[in-house]
Structure 1
Amino acid sequence: MVYFANLCLLATLASAQSILESSSFGQTDRISPNGVDIPGWHISGEGQVPQLLSDKIVLTPPYPGNIRGAAWSGARVEQSDWMAELDFRASGPARGSGNLQVWFTKDGRAGIDTASLYTVGNFDGMVISIDQYGGKVRSQLPRGLLEYMLTGTKGGSIRGFMNDGSIDFKHHYSVDSLAFGHCDFSFRNLGRPSRLKIRQEPSNFEVVIDDKLCFSSDKIRMPSGYSFGLTAASAETPDSFEAYKFQLSSLSQSSQRQDPRQDSQSNAQQGSVPISQSYESQFGDLTNRLQSLAQAVQKLEDEIGILHRDSDAHYRDIERALLNRDTLNSIISQNDRIERIDKTLTSFQSQVSNLHGLMKDSHDSLTEGIPKHLSNIISTNAPRMGMLIFIFVVIQVLLYGVYTLYKRRSKQGPKKYL
């Protein structure tokens, strides 16, 4: 038990000592000590300089598109056996696209800088490209319904390319045909970082993604003295590429120190390590794993929250658009109704004006015609004046004759006395 604990502890210490700090970043809580640069690395970009956050480098932002970003190590790798690990994440809209490259080249940043697989010219070294080329559309749900809801159907691939400096990739008629290995991998919108491992051993070269073998070869052996670099490019509909950690480890040192016979001899000479230290180491490792898991869960919750907020905002935009459309239709309908009423009133006003004109004409005609008509009637139907005078004289004569006759009779009649 003590021997096994000591072996685990020594293996852990050997692995920790084998990390090449000069070609690595992201092993501590903060990537950049000052928020401006990374010691030993050169950061550059086209359209926008990559953003340095506490736990990641945003090589290409989620907005705008057509941005390039790069991070190059200034140190050369002198070890012949090594393992490079990259924790990265790609996210963007449904039809977003872009690419991420891991370079291991003789001249480092010179001649490449922010170039991608399709825009680089001649270079001496190797590049691992992560892009949308040749990916198969996902038709099942291997990671559950939640991941499918977050990612949707998508494709992607990881491919390896080599160049001895004689091939101009930018002007090659078919760069894709130069790949020496590839595998399909849907890397976009996973809601978590993915881990890419590039491992060179004495008799094997392999690329592993999320602890699954992507491709390997026993015919590839990269020389020492080369440098690592990262480049990313986004399209018009952008993808955001984020690098959380790049760790380079020397396998030759760790393999020597992990020999059980050497460990047992060392333990016999130096004495056994107390088992409590083994428990503390295991507890610390477990704590680190739990913290990493908690961070991954927190990031997943953040992604879900962002997706939920985006969905709510999209729903509100649609609702406002529908309401605005209904309001616009109502306004258009009311405007049409007002126009129809205005046309009716105009027509009615015209008819009233015509009627008023007719009434005025009739009034004028009556005003001018009635006196003339009455005058004609009076002049036509009135009796003659001479006839009236004659009749009046006759009546007066008759009355006078009657009165004279009455007087005579009254005088000739008998007198009455009292």
Structure 2
Amino acid sequence: MHLTSRTLKTIAWSTLAFTTANAQYIIDNLSFGQKEGEPISPNLRAIPHYFAKGLGWDIEILSDRAVLTPPWPGNRRGALWSEDPLHHGGDWSAELQFRASGMERGGGNLQLWYTKESQKNTDPASLYTAPKFDGLVLVVDQYEGRGGSVRGFLNAGDIDFKAHHDLDQLAFGQCNYPYRNLGRFSVLKMQQANGKFEVTVDGYYFGISASSAENPDSFEVSKFLVSTTNAYTREEPGSQNQYQAAQNPNQQQQQDQNQQQKVQPPPRVHGNWLQRTHEQNKPIDPNIPQIVEDVFAANIKSQQDQFADLHNRLQIMNHKIDGLYDLLEKVIADNDQRFDQLMGRVTPMHDQIGATMRNVEKVERTTMETLRDLESKDFKDLLRSVQLSIERGHGALSNNLPAAITDIVDKGRPSMMIFIFVVIVVQVMVLGAYQLYKKRRNSAPKKYL
């Protein structure tokens, strides 16, 4: 069979169209763990676009997984809730990778939520402690001792699961799955495609929660991916407008064109400098838009609108680049001016440093001369003479000191005659005092009884 170039082109375009129609685009702000080899958290404290909360403990966020319940102790809860809802109502799928590990008879449950209202501001709930909610929950636990099961529950916001008398009977479907202590991560998926899986999807939130029993199971999640067949990778808060676009594409296209035609003030960099530069050097036509808001590619139908959108965006990029170039020139001029000022200050400092260096060199020369003098001269004779002088002085003191002390003692001591005279005088005075005492006693009046 002979294939012409026209046939090959037709097959190639058909294959490309089929591939594009069936491609899955991961929504980044609703997913984590989508990039292999990169950590799910940049700081190991939080997962971007997800709110983490634990009851009885703090959720442990590692580089490749998040631990919702710890291996020990039991009776703990943890939950992750998306900060942004899933807005669009097209085909989508959600994939959760999890694993549970614990003791031989451990217990607990894992829930994958898809609800209208986020539960990030409440305590983490399990199937049996959840209040009224509008949405879907998939539960992984050991229901009826089967070794593991996956069950689905729907609630329209009118049933209080926490107060229900027989909650297990509300499951709309279930299957057996032994999930505990497998070592590897299990994959749980749910999706909506071609009208199947009838659940309202007007801005619903995703959540993952787990709870452990007295004999704990440690539930870990490593990846959660939300993907869609639409060619955009983020869910913005105002994206629900696309439902109106699906119902009335012409009206939505007209609104997008009106938004593109709005004149916005130019951006400001370093105050009003960039704006003044544009106003002075490059006058801007007020009919040319300065900011084009983001729109979905599917909302631009005609080639003329596509060209206008592309033209406006390229023109805005050109203006931005011009502004950055002007800003760069100003930064370079400022740096040159600062360099000149710095060099003007450095020159006097250089003169002072030169004078200081000369003084240091003088000190070094003097020190070296002194060191050379000390090393060249012999001080042995000088020290010997000092030693001999000390020895002579010591000998003279040893010889003359005893004779001098003896002479001083001999000259200063009293004579023997003076000593005898003093003794006789003292005795005469004592005898006279005694005689005087006897005379007075004998002359004193007598007392008789």
TM-score (norm 2): 0.46
Higher relative contact order (CA 8 A, sep 6+): 1
